[in-house]
Amino acid sequence: MTCDVDALKALLAEAQAAYHALQTGQQPRVFVDQNGERVEYTVANRLSLLAYIKTLQSQIAGQASCTGTPSGPVRFLF
């Protein structure tokens, strides 16, 4: 099992930024530059993007044990 939590966190930040842009209407569908060239983008699926974010969050939580940080609450046994 590889412990690349930093890469997962970078992907998560990028996905969250894309989700925010999509939710606030900042995600352009068509871009026309100063020369009149037109570029069209496909609109991201909001639910698929949210599911991807949840998957990344669970992967980060699952790999937190590799970095030495606890992945859950501390439990005491008496």
Give the pLDDT confidence of 10-69 residue by residue, as tens digits. Answer: 999 998 988 888 888 777 677 787 788 887 766 667 888 889 999 999 998 887 666 555
Cα 49 from Cα 29, distance rounded (Å): 16
CA atoms within 13 A on the CB side of 37: 3
Residue ranges and CATH numbers for the domains of the chain are: 5-66 (3.30.1580)
Sequence-separated (6 or more) residues with CB below 8 Å from residue 43: 22, 27, 29
Residue with tokens 């974010």: 53
* Predicted local distance difference test score (pLDDT) of residue 42: 65
Question: What count of other Cβ atoms lies within 10 Å of the Cβ of residue 70?
Answer: 9
